[in-house]
């Protein structure tokens, strides 16, 4: 969906009904968590997060974006490579209570194309 020399963005397989198109922003090089991440890929990731959030608002018409990043088991980390989650949100969307579902590949590809076009403009 988006890619630069230090990080990339990809649509997550897991989605919540009513809040489709969650995106992950991930540094190319492996770093387990925020504590281990050097400043350059951290800064590049933050810039990519902002660019993707703006594109998500434009394409999805959402009312807000939740940005989440987890460190260590007590912080909810269950993937041992630093990454940032972006979730489109609407007032009263029930996001916290909704169960995760898998988005079909064709839907992910359609949204990826729309977000890629928004990022390019």
In the predicted structure, residue 1 carries a pLDDT above the cut 80: no
Q: Which domain holds residue 48?
A: 2-120
CA distances from 110 to 43, 63, 100 (A): 29, 21, 20
End-to-end CA distance of the chain: 14
Number of domains into which the chain is organized: 1
What is the band of 4 on the pLDDT scale with cuts at 50, 70, 90? confident
Which of 114, 105, 108 is closest to 57 using CA atoms? 114
Q: Residue 35's CB: how many other CB atoms inside 10 A?
A: 9
Output the domain CATH number for residue 76: 3.30.428.10
Q: What's the pLDDT tens digit per position in 28-37? A: 999 999 999 9
pTM assigned to the model? 0.93
Q: Are 8 and 52 in contact (CB under 8 A)?
A: no
Instruction: Supply 46's token pair.
Output: 């933050």
């Amino acid at each position: 969906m988006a890619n630069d020399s230090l990080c990339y963005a990809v649509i997550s397989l897991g989605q919540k009904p009513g809040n489709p198109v969650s995106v992950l922003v991930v540094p190319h090089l492996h770093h387990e968590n925020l504590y281990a991440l050097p400043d350059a890929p951290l800064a590049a990731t933050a810039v990519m997060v902002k660019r993707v959030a703006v594109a998500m608002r434009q394409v999805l018409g959402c009312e807000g974006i939740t940005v989440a990043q987890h460190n260590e088991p007590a912080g909810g980390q269950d993937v041992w490579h630093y990454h940032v989650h972006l979730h489109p949100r609407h007032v009263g969307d029930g996001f916290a209570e909704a169960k995760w579902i898998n988005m079909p590949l064709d839907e992910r590809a359609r949204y990826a194309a729309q977000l890629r076009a928004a990022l390019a403009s």
